[in-house]
Structure 1
Amino acid sequence: MINLADELSKAYNGDPWHGSNTLDLLRAANAEKVFTHPIPDAHSIAELALHLTAWTEETIARINGHPAKEPALGDWPVPNENSAEEWERILNGFKVANEKLIALCGQLGSHQWDAATKDERNPTLGTGVNNAELINGLVQHHAYHAGQVALLLKF
């Protein structure tokens, strides 16, 4: 059986199959460039990091039994300012949210992985799934956006 807590840990800060983990990619970003939009109509690295954080926090809320909704920070939060200090705050928020979720996953008993979230199925919001599907979806979400960050780092 696949250890989803381990898969999340790999996607966040480990050795994932798809390439660099998300945290290493974000750490590699130049704080002066993370707020830029080198690809027209694409999100910046800072916006991607905030988006990842928002959905990680929403996943924590769902596992803790809260009804699914758009993240408290919003789907695509915007940075408060374009500064090195703001980038550190964004990066720290990403780390805290992921480490909190990984710890929470480590506490789930085997029966809790099959527990359904408290919502009807809505593919757009990722609702109406069980905790295992929810974490698996977040791992995929991290991998998808890590690829975008990797691409933006080339600009």
Structure 2
Amino acid sequence: MVNLVDELSKAYNGDTWHGSNVLSLIQAANPQKVFTHPIPNAHSIAELVLHLTAWTEEVIDRIEGQIAKEPSRGDWPLPIEKTEEEWYRLVEDFRLVNEKLIRLITDLTPADWSSAVKDQRNRELGTGVDNSQLINGLIQHHAYHAGQIALLLKF
């Protein structure tokens, strides 16, 4: 069986097969460019980081037994300010929430991994799955948005 703790750790800050992990990409971003939209109608790097943070927080809530919902920050929260200090706060929030989730799932038992997330299946919200499917989905989510961030870093 795949070790999902290890896979999440890789997607977040490890040696990924698909390219750079999401944290290294975020840390490579120029703080003066992260709030810009170099691709019309696309999200900025800062917006992507906020989105990733919001959904990681929501996954923590679900693992802890709360009913599945849209993240409390919203699906696509917007930066409060567009400053270098705000950027560093966003990066730190992303780092802290991922490290919290990794610590949390490190202690899951086999029965915990197969426990269902509360709610009926809703593909858009990622509900109606067990905890292993939930974490696997977050790993895919991190990889997907890491690709977007990598593309935006080229501008």
TM-score bucket (shorter structure): over 0.9
Distance 2:24 2:146 in 1: 9
2:76 maps to which residue?
Answer: 76
Distance 1:65 1:3 in 2: 21
Deviations 1:59-96 (A, max 9, x none): 00000000000001100000011111000010000001
Give secondary structure in 2 for the equivalent of 1:37: coil
Distance 1:103 1:66 in 2: 18
* 1:43-122 equivalence runs, <5 A: 43-122=43-122
Q: Which runs of 5+ in 2 are unaligned?
A: none
Distance 1:18 1:119 in 2: 32
1:36 maps to which residue?
Answer: 36
Distance 1:144 1:36 in 2: 20
Deviations 1:114-151 (A, max 9, x none): 00011100001000100000000000000000000000
Opposite residue 152 of structure 1, the aligned amino acid is: L
2:143 maps to which residue?
Answer: 143
2:14 maps to which residue?
Answer: 14
Distance 2:56 2:138 in 1: 7
Distance 1:77 1:115 in 2: 29
Give secondary structure in 2 for the equivalent of 1:98: helix
Distance 2:91 2:69 in 1: 23
Using the TM superposition, give the Cα deviation of residue 110 of structure 1 relative to its aligned residue in structure 2, in angstroms.
1.2
Give percent identity, aligned residues only. Answer: 68
Opposite residue 154 of structure 1, the aligned amino acid is: K
Opposite residue 91 of structure 1, the aligned amino acid is: V
Distance 1:112 1:17 in 2: 27
Distance 1:51 1:147 in 2: 14
Give secondary structure in 1 for the equivalent of 2:31: coil
Question: TM (normalized to structure 2)?
Answer: 0.99
Structure 1 segments of 4+ aligned residues over 6 angstroms from their partners: none
1:123 maps to which residue?
Answer: 123
Q: Which runs of 5+ in 1 are unaligned?
A: none
Give secondary structure in 1 for the equivalent of 2:71: coil
Distance 1:123 1:129 in 2: 9
Distance 1:2 1:54 in 2: 25
Using the TM superposition, give the Cα deviation of residue 111 of structure 1 relative to its aligned residue in structure 2, in angstroms.
1.2
Opposite residue 3 of structure 1, the aligned amino acid is: N
- Give the CA RMSD over aligned residues: 0.4
Opposite residue 151 of structure 2, the aligned amino acid is: L
1:3 maps to which residue?
Answer: 3
Give aligned pairs, total: 155
